[in-house]
Structure 1
Amino acid sequence: MENKVGDKPPSAEEAADLLAKAKDLATKLKVHGITLTVDDRKRTLRPRRGADVHVQRVVELAAKYGVALPNIPLAGMSNDLLLARQYQPIEDELRVALQIAEDTGTQAGSEAWEAFLAYYGVLSSMAQRMPDLAAELQPVADFMARGPRKKAT
């Protein structure tokens, strides 16, 4: 069995610190951001790739020529463009961090399960000859004897 992640787990303090920093970052992002519903997310307009340069140009031209639209303030478009530009690198880094967290958690769970299956197999074999071990192992045997699991709620 190859152990890719289990040899270097963070200390409890390091894990707690990482979690606190993640929560702190989420709290700070909420100050300027929102959480869309699934429906809202589907309905949002998505600018073409490379559009921000052209959005900026339209802001400048509208200001230069005094164009103002009711209920669509020019300053709002400019501020939205600024926010999108500021959040994009944050989003990119968070995506990298999320991928690392997901992949590490997935690999760690896989490695733990693989080791569990190996040890459980040996202990099950031993339990046939050791009644005390069989009794202690029974809750695990019951768990393993059941069919497909329902998702935990």
Structure 2
Amino acid sequence: MTQSIESPLSVDQARYRLQEGLAARGAVRGRLSGDQLMLVATHFGLGNGARPVLRGRLVATGPGSRLDYRLGWNRVFAAVATAWAGVVAAMLLYGTGLTIVRLVTGGAAGGPAVLAAVALGMLLFVGGLIAGGRYLSRDEAPMLRAWLEERLRP
């Protein structure tokens, strides 16, 4: 979902204030390339792929400007997590389906049941890691918004 921050500053002034803030190397890091912005809030000693990444674009609006942005995961982290979850979910479905078929037909269901149990355990474990990472970074999205508003609304 795209969100916006309106600013009375021109695009050039907003760009300058954002660059100035990024040069300070504080808790918010990122890059500004032309009108494109990418920000990440950092907690020293804490790093995880589940932290929010803000991607935005400065747009001129008459005398002022507007930053249109989205919050999401790091794209590489999101792609790897999605692919991994897809493979493990397929293992879970295959193991569960084969277990059911073997139980119905009277065959040995031990191997497929173990596969399904391992896949379920893997999903729960990594899901817990991601949930924990999101919990630890829960204040980062509001921190990014506050940092932006401080610079774009003088």
- The alignment's TM-score, normalised by the length of structure 1, stands at 0.38
Larger CA Rg, structure 1 vs 2: 1
Q: Specify which structure has the higher proportion of strand.
A: 2
**TM-score, structure 2 as length reference:** 0.38
Structure (1/2) with the larger helix percentage? 1
